[in-house]
Structure 1
Amino acid sequence: MHHYDEPVYLISIVAKILDIHPQTLRQYERENLINPSRSDGRIRLYSQRDIDKIKLILRLTRELGVNLAGVDIILNLKETIDSMEKEIADLRHEVQTAKSAHSVAPEKSLVTKKSLYEMIVFKE
């Protein structure tokens, strides 16, 4: 069994699995929608992650009627959301760890201390 990100599938195999023409895969690469790995001989190699991304592209274009420019925007937004969700999960974990330790380092504090005194100067 191969790792999810391991590039092992040739373009012909991916085209056959997804029932699409290899030129479609080349077009997706030209549009920067996918970025398959390359062997030393410059042969395109796809991972299971690449195949799943292509399936999403096909669903967006075939079933939802999105053009390739729209697919690019959707994929970029999805990547941003995934990144933010990971960051939120990391922050939640950090907060939970701090709660269980009953203390938070000052540099990681969510609330900063303000001075109790504020000075207002009036000019005459």
Structure 2
Amino acid sequence: MAERMPLDEDAPIFAIAMAAELSGLHPQTLRQYDRIGLVSPKRTAGRVRRYSLRDVGQLREVAELSQQGVSLEGISRILALQRENDDLQRRVRALESELANERLARRGGRVFAAGAEGDVVSLMHGRRAERRTGVVLYRPVLPIADDRDE
């Protein structure tokens, strides 16, 4: 039996009629959404619109938000924030992966401690911060008496 490859959600595979049917919207509505930049599908070499699964999902979301009374400007802002959130989540995953790889590559790791002046110092794993046993006296500064008050 042939092994199935996962479907790419961004692959432009649906013509406008099929995307309209899948999303429950009229093809003219899809054209309008494309004109205003709400959901912009990919184009073929002949400039024919091709919608992806992600585009169809966005169209369904737009239809739902529109039925709830959200304006097209509001829907546009919501979609922009969702894209930004998705981008940030991808960036966080990439940074977490990079950090995990860095930790695996390092032997031991680093430890941080407070320095003598209160600054942060980096120590190699297995080393201790230098201990200070000196006594620090704290004396509050008393206000100077002003002769004019008398």
Report the TM-score range of the alignment, normalised by the length of the smaller protein: 0.7 to 0.9
Equivalent residue number for residue 4 of structure 1: 9
* Residues 25, 63 of structure 2: 8 Å contact kept: no
Mapped partners of 1:41, 1:101: distance in 2 = 50
Choose which of 20, 42, 46 in structure 2 pairs with 1:41.
46
Choose which of 75, 99, 103 in structure 2 pairs with 1:95.
99
The alpha carbon displacement at 1:40 in A equals 3.0
Give the root-mean-square deviation of aligned CA atoms.
2.3
The answer on 1:86 being equivalent to 2:106 is: no
Give the number of equivalent residue pairs: 105
The answer on 1:29 being equivalent to 2:40 is: no
The alpha carbon displacement at 1:88 in A equals 1.2
Letter in 2 for 1:74: I
Q: Deviations over 1:53-91 (max 9, x none)?
A: 1112112212x3211100111111111111111111111
SS at match of 1:93: helix
Letter in 1 for 2:56: I
SS at match of 2:39: coil
Unmatched segments (≥5 aa) in structure 1: 104-110, 117-124
* Residues 24, 60 of structure 2: 8 Å contact kept: no
Structure 1 length-normalised TM: 0.72
- Counting aligned pairs with the same residue, the percent is 35
Structure 2 length-normalised TM: 0.61
Mapped partners of 1:16, 1:89: distance in 2 = 35
